[in-house]
Amino acid sequence: MAEANSSLFTIHSSLPTWIWYPGDFEIWLGNIFNNRRTERGAMFPPFWKQDSHYVTVEFSKAISLQKAETITIACEGQFNLALDGKLQFGQPETFEVPAGEHKLNLKVWNQATPPALFIDGETIKTDSTWLATYEDKLWIDENGVAHGSGIYVPAAHWNFDSIDTPPSTYQLERKELRPVSCDNIAANGTLYDFGRETFGYLKVKGLKGCVRIYYGESREEALDKEHCETLDVLSHLSARPSGRFAPSGQRPLTSHLSSKAFRYVYIEKEEGANYDEVMMDYEFAPHDINHSGSFRCSDEEINRIWEVSAYTMDLTTREFFMDGIKRDRWTWSGDAIQSYLMNYYLRFDTECVKRTIRQLRGKDPVTAHVNTIMDYTFYWFKSVLDYYQYTGDADFVREMWPRMETLMDYVLSRTNADGMAEGQPDDWIFVDWVDFPMHKRGTLCFEQILFCKALETMALCAKVLGINKSDYRVKAEELRNKIYQTFWSYEDKAYLHAIEDGVMNRQITKFPNMFAIIYGMAYEEQRREIMKSVMLNPKVDPITTPYMRFYELEALCIDGLHTQVLQEMRDYWGGMLREGATSFWEKYVPTETGTQHLAMYGRPYGKSLCHAWGASPVYLLGKYYLGVKPTKPGYEEYEVRPALGDLEWMKGDVPTPHGMIHVEMDQKQIKICATEGRGTLYYKDQQVDIEPNQEVVVSLS
């Protein structure tokens, strides 16, 4: 894999921008993000280690001036300034730097938010050319002279380009929405319907007294006061609580509401309470509609599935990519890697991808797997490589490389005597939520396939950076051979489930077999055998979560079964639509009925009805029907392999780092137009070059 030109991602603006230590903004923001979850009014923090930003950061820059220059300084935190190693008085808002060669150093301390710096002068401006360190390895000798070998790295920045908008002011956008209907359920209670699943802040205008608020992704949940997942009590500041809803001293009395996911809201008034109207501030991450994916075809049901998938992705794309907007509202690596892939075919929001990858990784030392889940650690590695393949941004790979190495060191330190990844007592082996007996003990074939891909990822990323790390490639090859020798059954023509205490568990599931196909670990004949004996075998237990259906249908697409996958979409995602879904769910079991669809985790409304991993048709339709994917990083080169399946026609757009690829196809012809990169159209025995800004038309008759 050749290294792409990454200068497009490191352009130095002539304007100043706020800078901070790499990853600290994401870690700080992630702590706020991940701790917003509540369950029935109780705060519910994540159950994994949460890191913090470095509270003291030094920013450094070597400068050369033809003449003296006055700079304006702003900091988030307290700071000192040193010119050529000499501390200056106070915390000046402006400072004159004399002509000549100088070293400018500013140390910023901030316990509450990440230390950040903004400097604006005629030529001296904060940007990515500044260096930052958290001051490790510094010592002072007996003469008071400082010595150190602190590690300086390029300072991080984003789009905080005004002195008045420091990083701590970051927030999503809002838009006021009104309910589409209301229903007076009781003398003191009204149910409001906002028309579809949404996310934001409920507003009760003109409130006098106290009201109890019950949220629901479904009508049933909002009206079930004893079991709804989220609720609030809202009070006018002068109201006296009666204690009716909670014991004295324990009532969650608030004068404002936190963000919630809901379609329905049931508001119950206390005695004497009243209000004028109810509305909400819909909170969302903005996107450029002119740089977004699209898909339309001859089947209106497939069109609706794509639209609801896109809306599901938009709802779960926030400061970070979250799993579900009702619960958990956390960043999960397994969910996130699918969100990244869907995002590359929808909004191409690379900043949200980078924020989420940084936040999930956290800081050293590594004391547990990502999200405590072994498979999620392996997905994290691959997400970095996927990002590079779609964007060509080698600078981000370079930034993450040290933390990739230390995380892989942690993984390798926990392998068994055969060099395989095996769950330890403090590891969560997830794989998927399953509705059939499947233990997760011992050495799982599924985990080894993900582990092997992680090692291959390390080798490829090292190559991108020009680092000699042949040991990763060697380990990957050795593990790939062991997986085949250990788990492949010639009799069953499938990869078997696991080894526990030296005994092979011969259970056959789709999980390791479909990943062997997707990750290129099954050669052609073996892939055909897996498809027949596992993926298309009705005796093999079915997958019931959209999470793993993502990979199941991808494997079918790789095998060219596009018509079957479309029917699966109609049955599975169309089934959710027929149940009234306005966003796609965490799990769908077609045999369930009524309120059974709302239950999960032993709770009547525990299931998320807006879950990122439910939006996979966006990815599948873009990559395997429009057929677009990069073959060199950042779409320097790409291929288009369109497939109609049983559709009469289709058309759509796929975003690229700096443009779009438009594809149209019907029974008679294929049309393609792209704004960047060099592409190749493959259709049956035809192979046609695609040049930028030149429409390609290929007749199929």
pLDDT digits (tens, 9 = 90+) for 544-570: 999 999 999 999 999 999 999 999 999
Q: For residue 266, give the nearest of 203, 324, 184, 187 by alpha carbon.
A: 184
pLDDT digits (tens, 9 = 90+) for 264-289: 999 999 999 999 999 999 999 999 99
The Cα–Cα gap between 348 and 391 comes to: 9
Segment 87-97 shows an average pLDDT of 96
Task: Please report where in the chains the tokens 């019931």 appear, as a residue.
Answer: 544
The Cα–Cα gap between 349 and 159 comes to: 14
pLDDT digits (tens, 9 = 90+) for 315-324: 999 999 999 9
Q: Is residue 110 located within the same domain as residue 251?
A: no
Mean of all residue pLDDT scores within the chain: 94
What confidence score (pLDDT) does residue 1 get? 37
Q: For residue 358, give the nearest of 413, 312, 319 by alpha carbon.
A: 319
Please say if the pLDDT value at position 26 is more than 80: yes
pTM of the model: 0.94
pLDDT digits (tens, 9 = 90+) for 178-188: 999 999 999 99
Segment 513-541 shows an average pLDDT of 97
Segment 223-249 shows an average pLDDT of 69
Q: Is residue 246 located within the same domain as residue 261?
A: yes
Domain with 491 in it: what CATH number? 1.50.10.10
pLDDT band at 204 (very low <50, low <70, confident <90, very high): very high
Q: Is residue 2 part of a domain?
A: no
The Cα–Cα gap between 33 and 38 comes to: 12
What confidence score (pLDDT) does residue 256 get? 66
284, 309, 340 - which closes a domain: 284
Domain with 678 in it: what CATH number? 2.60.420.10
Please say if the pLDDT value at position 9 is more than 60: no
Percent of the chain with pLDDT over 90: 91
The number of domains in the chain is 4
Q: Is residue 159 located within the same domain as residue 180?
A: no
pLDDT digits (tens, 9 = 90+) for 384-398: 999 999 999 999 999
Enclosing domain of residue 683: 634-699
Whether the link from the prior residue into 136 is cis, omega within 30° of 0, is no
Please say if the pLDDT value at position 326 is more than 70: yes
Q: Is residue 371 located within the same domain as residue 515?
A: yes
169, 188, 219 - which closes a domain: 169
pLDDT digits (tens, 9 = 90+) for 573-618: 999 999 999 999 999 999 999 999 999 999 999 999 999 999 999 9
Q: Is residue 308 located within the same domain as residue 348?
A: yes
Report which of residues 237 and 685 the model is more confident about.
Answer: 685
Segment 119-138 shows an average pLDDT of 93
Q: For residue 57, give the nearest of 18, 102, 16 by alpha carbon.
A: 18
Segment 52-69 shows an average pLDDT of 97
- The dihedral of CA 596, 599, 600, 602: what is its sign? negative
Q: Is residue 244 part of a domain?
A: yes
Amino acid at 586: E
Report which of residues 402 and 143 the model is more confident about.
Answer: 402
Q: Is residue 333 located within the same domain as residue 471?
A: yes
Q: Is residue 374 located within the same domain as residue 230?
A: no
Please say if the pLDDT value at position 251 is more than 60: no
Rounded to the nearest 5°, which phi and psi values hold at 155? -65, 150
Q: Is residue 199 located within the same domain as residue 77?
A: no
Please say if the pLDDT value at position 163 is more than 60: yes
Domain with 268 in it: what CATH number? 2.60.120.260
Question: Is 668 in a helix, a strand, or coil?
Answer: coil
The Cα–Cα gap between 61 and 358 comes to: 25
What confidence score (pLDDT) does residue 530 get? 98
Q: Is residue 387 located within the same domain as residue 460?
A: yes
What confidence score (pLDDT) does residue 175 get? 97
Q: Is residue 330 located within the same domain as residue 382?
A: yes
The Cα–Cα gap between 689 and 701 comes to: 19
Q: Is residue 371 located within the same domain as residue 492?
A: yes
Q: Is residue 483 part of a domain?
A: yes
Question: Is 435 in a helix, a strand, or coil?
Answer: coil
The Cα–Cα gap between 486 and 505 comes to: 11
What confidence score (pLDDT) does residue 237 get? 59
Q: Is residue 259 part of a domain?
A: yes
Measured CA distances, 202 to 42, 174, 277 (Å): 18, 12, 11
The edge-to-edge listing of strands for the beta sheet with 686-690 is 628-632, 637-640, 678-683, 686-690
Q: Is residue 627 located within the same domain as residue 660?
A: no
The Cα–Cα gap between 123 and 535 comes to: 62
Provide the β-strand partners of residue 116.
20, 76
119, 154, 169 - which closes a domain: 169
pLDDT digits (tens, 9 = 90+) for 614-662: 999 999 999 999 999 999 999 999 999 999 999 999 999 999 999 999 9
pLDDT band at 245 (very low <50, low <70, confident <90, very high): very low
Element containing residue 549 per DSSP (H, E): helix 546-558
Q: Is residue 1 part of a domain?
A: no
